[in-house]
Structure 1
Amino acid sequence: MNEHGRHAMETMQKHDPATFAQIADPETHFSTLGEEIQQQIWELSEQLTPVRGDEPPLEYVGLVNMAKLRAREMVYQEMIYADLPQEPEEMETTPLPQND
């Protein structure tokens, strides 16, 4: 299982244990999902990587790395986080005014 599959498995265990418990073979399921995630990240990062211009080499390396990180963020959102149950928002607590 690659890092993406492991992350997906740990995330589901923590945030959606009921659905995780219904998966008959988590090892196989998340190994396959991890490979699918990796493929999507590669494809999307290629699309997001800008064409090499006149920028210095290190600047271009930075642009390529940012494209990879952005692709990972987008694929994780779509393939891991989107199907998780919504967590309740924390309520703001403001003190009530005191009547003297």
Structure 2
Amino acid sequence: MNEHGRHAMETMKNHDPQTYAQIADPETHFSTLGREIQDRIWALSEELMPARGSEAPLEYVGLVKMAKLRAREMVYQEMIYDGLPPEPEEMEPASSQQDEDS
């Protein structure tokens, strides 16, 4: 299982344990998902990759790295986080309630 599959598995375990418990073979499921995520990141990285211009070599390396990070962020959102149930709203602290009542 690659890093993306492990991340997806840990995220689901922690944020949607009921759905995680229903997966018959988590190792196979998340290994497959990890490969799909990696393929999607590579494809999207290519789309986001800037054309080589007149910038300095290290600046271009930075732009390429940012394209890869952005692709990863977008794919994780689409393939991992969007499938999770919403987090419960945090309760407002009691002190702000008292301020409103005053």
Normalising TM by the smaller chain, what interval? over 0.9
Runs of 4+ with deviation above 4 angstroms: none
Is 1:81 the equivalent of 2:43? Answer: no
The aligned counterpart of 1:8 is 8
Unaligned runs of 5+ in 1: none
Deviation at 1:92, TM superposition (A): 2.4
Q: Structure 2: any 5+ residue segments left out of the alignment? A: none
Percent identity, aligned pairs only?
76
Letter in 2 for 1:67: A
Q: Aligned partners of 2:66 and 2:84: how far apart in 1?
A: 26
Indicate the residue corresponding to 2:32 in structure 1: 32
TM-score by length of 1: 0.94
Q: TM-score if structure 2 supplies the norm length?
A: 0.93
Match of 1:96 in 2: 98
Shift of 1:90: 1.3
For 1:86, give the aligned amino acid.
Answer: P
